[in-house]
Amino acid sequence: MKVSLNWLKSYLDIQLSPEDVGDLLTSIGLEVEGMEVVESIKGGLRGVVVGHVTVCGKHPNADKLSLTKVDVGQGEELQIVCGAPNVAQGQKVLVATVGTTLYDAEGRDFKIKKGKIRGEVSQGMICAEDELGLGDDHDGIIVLPEDAPIGQPASDYYQIENDVVYDIGLTPNRSDATAHIGVAKDLAAALRINRELDVAVKMPDTSGFKVDNQEVSIDVKVENTTACPRYTGVTISGIKVSESPDWLKQRLTTIGQRPINNIVDITNFILHELGQPLHAFDTDKIGGNRILVKTLPEGTAFTTLDEVERKLTTTDLMICDGESKGMCIGGVFGGIGSGVTDNTTSIFLEAAHFNAKWIRRTSMHHLLRTDAATCFEKGSDPNITRYALERAALLIQELAGGTISSEVVDIYPEPVAKVEIDVKYKRVSRLIGVDIPVTEIKAILAALEMDILTEDADGLRVAVPTNKADVLREADVIEEILRIYGFNKVPISDQLRSTIVISEKPNPHQLRNHAADMLATQGFHEIMAVSLTESRYFQDILPMPEAELVYVNNTSNSHLDVMRPTMLFSGLEAVVHNQNRQHADLRLFEFGKSYRRTEDDFKETNHLSLFLTGRREAESWQNNGTQGTSFYQLKAYVELVLRKLGISGYQESDLQDEVFTYAMNYHRGPRSLVRFGKVQASIQRALSIKQEVFYAIFDWDAIFKALKKHKVEVKDLTKYPSVRRDLALIIDNSTKFGDIANIARKTGKSLLKAVNLFDIYENEDQLGAGKKSYAVSFVFEDPTKTLKDKEVDKIMNKLIQSYEQQLSATIRR
C-alpha cells in the first residue's frame, strides 16, 4: 500500500521529517518497506530561476534568433541566444542556467551547457512551458508578471512541492488502515501518546451537502442483504465530464494511480482517502431507472471493463438494472456498458458495504485483484458509506458541476453496532509483558476512538469502532494498545532459556543441505515451486487415474487445482520460464513432495529432482558449445549424489515408463531409490520446450531409510599398490555394461576395487552384425599385501570364462 506524506499532512498539522514519520509508522505496526521522493515536476525545476531581459536584439548571423542579456540576480548579466518569437526587452522570464538538467516529453534528459550558437556565446536557455514540464505549449517562452522577483528559484515561484511516498506492508487484519485517513488516525494516536502532541485528524467537512431536487430518481432493491448489508446511493445530474485539476491528478499519480477523468478520479480519490470504494453509473444506461442488487444464474455471460467476457457463478453478487441486466460485479469490477464516458451528464453514485467473504471469493475466482476488492475483503466500515457518498458528491459538484437530483438511498436493514469487549488490566500486563499504568491504557483507547463504556478496579469494557473489523476479542484490543504504546518500549528479558534437543541420525536437514551444497558446486540452481499444479497435465499430457489426484478448492488461482502427484511439471515449467527468457542451458534441482490419494488415505512422498537441458558446457574459445547435455551426464550426477550420501549396493535395471523415452532405475529390491532418463518428446512438445530435457527423480524417503541402516566404516589407506588389467570384449548389442560389471564384482569380490568402461567400438564388417566391442578396465587391490601376477591372472581367467559362458562374449586378444 502506498501512502503520500503530503496527503497525510492535509489531515494532520504536523512538522515532522519524512524519516521521522516513517519511523513512527513502523513503530505502530505499519511497517515501511520503502520510501521514495516523488517530484511533481521531473527535475524539480532545479537550476531554473526568474530572469529579467534587459537587452534584446537581433542575432548578427541569424534572422530568426535573438541575442539577449538577462539579469538572473547573480551580479553579472547572462548572454543568451533565444529562438522564441515572443521574447522582448523588459520581460520577466524563466531561465535554465548552465548545468541545469531538463527533460523532454519522453523523459529523456538534456543538460544546459555554455556554448556558441551561430558564432555567439549562449549562457543558458529562456524556457517555454513544455521544456519545464509546466504545460504543452511550445509557441513561445513563458512571460511572467512584472512583479516576479529576479533570481527567485522557479520551484519557489510556482510553489512546486515534492512528495514522499511510503510503501507500507499492510497486514490483512488492518482494515482500519487501508486509506490515508486511517493511517493519519493511527499516526495522530501515536503522537498524542508517545510525544504528547495535541494533534487530531481534520476530517473533510460534508455539512454543505444538500439535495437540490428530485428530478432523477433511481429505485434500488437489495435482494441479497447477506452479501450486501448496506447500500447507499444518490443521483447527480448536469455534470460535465472533463480532465481533473492538477491537484487531484497529482494526488493520484503520486500513489501510482492513473488519472482518467474528474468523475472516476474522485471515486478513486475517496477510496484512497477514506477506504470506501465508490462506483458511478451513467443514469441513461440504467434500464428501468431501477437498480437490483442480486445474483444471476450460473454461467451468465458478463463483459467487464477490460473487455473480457466472464461466466458468472451463483456466488457473484451483481449490480443489475431494472431488467436484471448486469452492470457491475459488486465490489470488484465494473461492466463495459454502464460506466462514465465523456458524454455522461447524469450519474448514480454508489457507496455500498459488501460482505468480505463474498468479495474475496469472486475476486479470486475471476482473478480480478482490484483496489476495491482488496479494500472490501479486509472488511470495510459499514458506517462510513453515507459520509463517503456526501464527500464525493460535494467534490463532484465542485469539479464537474451538477445538482443533487434525488434523496439519498440508504438501505441498511440491520445496522452494524460497535463490538463491546471486556479488557482486564492483568491480562494486558501478562500479554504485553509490561505493567502499563491504567491512565495510559485509557488514554491509548481514547486516542484509538474506542469508547469506554464501563470500568472497575479490574478492567473496563470498550466499544470498538466498526472500521476495525478484525478487533473482536480481548487479545485484539490488547494488541491495539501495544501498537500505540510502542513495541520498542517492551524490554528484552535478561534471562536466557534453552532446551537440549537431540536430533535423529541422520539429520534430515543436514542431509538435504549436504546434497544441495554438492549440487550447487556442480553448477546446479535450486528451484522452489509451489506444490499446486494444473489437473490438465494429468488429463491431457500425462494421464493418471482421476482417483489418485488430490484436488483442492483454490479460489486464489483456480487453474492450480490439484496437489502435484509428480515433481516433473514443476521443473518443466521452470525450464519453459527460463527458455522464454533466453536462458536455455539449465541445471536445476528441487526438494519437494508429491501427493497422491490412496484407497483410504493420502500419500506424501519426499523427493529430490534433477533437470538437465541445453549445452553441456558454455560456449568459449576452448570449445564450440555444440555438445548438448546427455543421459550419461545425468547418470554421472545421479551417481555422484549417491556416492556423496554413501549409498551403494543397489541394483540397476532398465525402466519402461510413460515419462521417459529411455531410462534406468536404481533400486534395492522393489523399492526404487532413483529413476532417471530422457523426458518423452510428446511431453516436451505439450509445454513448448524446444530442446531435450533429462530428468531424475530420487525417492528421498527411500534414500533416508537406506541411510538409517548405513554404517560408517573407517579404514586405513592401503600401503600396497593396485593392479590394473584391461579386456576387450566382443558382445551382443543387447548386452549392457551393468551385466559386465555385476559379473566382475561377483568374481573379483573384495579384491576388485573398480571396473570402468573406457572405449566402445562398433563396426559390422570387422565385428559382425549385431555386435559391439567394449574396452573395460579392472582395478584390483589387497589391503594386506602386494598382489602377485598369478593371483590377478587367476581372477582374470575366471572373468574371461564367465563372460564367454554367460554373455557369449569373445575376447579380443
* CA 797 to centroid of chain Cα atoms: 67
Does residue 290 contact residue 218 with C-beta atoms inside 8 Å? yes
pLDDT, tens digit, for every residue of 500-525? 877 777 888 888 999 999 999 999 99
Going by C-alpha positions, the residue among 45, 164, 153 that lies closest to residue 103 is 45
Which grid cell sits at 792?
A: 590377478
**How many Cα neighbours within 13 Å face the side chain of 472?**
6
How does pLDDT run across 469-491, given as a tens digit for each residue? 999 999 999 999 999 998 888 88
Residue 125's nearest CA partner among 82, 158, 91 is 82
Report the pLDDT value the prediction gives residue 639, as an integer from 0 to 100.
Answer: 94
Kindly state the percentage of the chain with pLDDT values over 90.
69
The cell numbers describing 603, all together, are: 500419500
In the predicted model, what is the mean pLDDT of residues 77-85?
94
| Grid-cell match 496527503, residue found | 7
**Mean pLDDT, residues 576-605:** 93
Residues forming beta bridges with residue 82, ordered by sequence position: 66
**Phi, psi for residue 709 in degrees, rounded to 5:** -90, -10
Residue 336 and residue 418: Cα distance in Å, rounded? 38
Q: Cβ(718)–Cβ(779) under 8 Å?
A: no
Confidence check: pLDDT of 710 > 80: no
Q: Determine the pLDDT at residue 29.
A: 86
Cα end-to-end span (Å), the chain: 80
pLDDT value at position 300?
A: 94
Percent of the chain with pLDDT over 70: 99
Residues 6+ apart with CB under 8 A from 204: 273, 391
**152 HSE (CA, 13 A, CB side):** 14
DSSP result, 741-804: HHHHHHHHGGGEEEEEEEEEE--HHHH-TTEEEEEEEEEE--TTSPPPHHHHHHHHHHHHHHHH
DSSP state of 629: P
CB 393 within 8 A of CB 266: no
CA distance 373 to 418: 23
CA distance 449 to 477: 12
pLDDT surpassing 90 at residue 621: no
CA atoms within 13 A on the CB side of 560: 15
Nearest residue to 272 via CA among 11, 38, 20: 11
pTM over cut 0.85:
no
Query: What are the backbone angles phi and psi of residue 796, rounded to the nearest 5°?
Result: -65, -40
Please tell me the predicted confidence (pLDDT) of residue 491. Answer: 87
Report which secondary-structure segment, H or E, holds 92: strand 92-97
Alpha helices (H) in 448-547, listed in sequence order: 474-485, 508-521
* Short-list 675, 529, 652, CA closest to 593: 529
As a whole number of angstroms, the distance between CA 26 and CA 3 comes to: 13
Q: Confirm if 278 and 207 have CB atoms less than 8 A apart.
A: no
Q: What does the pLDDT read at residue 549?
A: 93
Parallel, antiparallel, or unpaired: how do β-strands 230-237 and 62-71 relate? unpaired
Q: How confident is the model at residue 625 (pLDDT cuts 50, 70, 90)?
A: low
**Torsion-angle region of residue 808: left (phi > 0), alpha (psi -120 to 50) or beta?**
left
Contact 610, 631 (CB under 8 A): no
Summarize the confidence of residues 254-259 as an average pLDDT. 90
| Separation between Cα atoms, residue 803 and residue 813, nearest integer Å | 14
**Dihedral angle, C-alpha 264, 268, 269, 270, nearest 10 °:** 110
Nearest to 359 by CA among 376, 383, 341, 347: 376
Whether 270 contacts 392, CB under 8 Å: yes
Would strands 532-533 and 562-563 be described as parallel, antiparallel, or unpaired? Answer: antiparallel
Query: pLDDT tens for residues 341-378?
Result: 999 999 999 999 999 999 999 998 888 889 999 999 99
Written as nine digits, the cell of 776 is 573395460
User: What pLDDT score does 588 carry?
Assistant: 96
Cell of 213: 431536487
Instruction: Kindly report the number of other CB atoms within 10 A of residue 650's CB atom.
Output: 16
CA–CA dist 809, 767 (Å, integer): 12
Are 114 and 122 contacting, i.e. CB atoms less than 8 angstroms apart?
A: yes
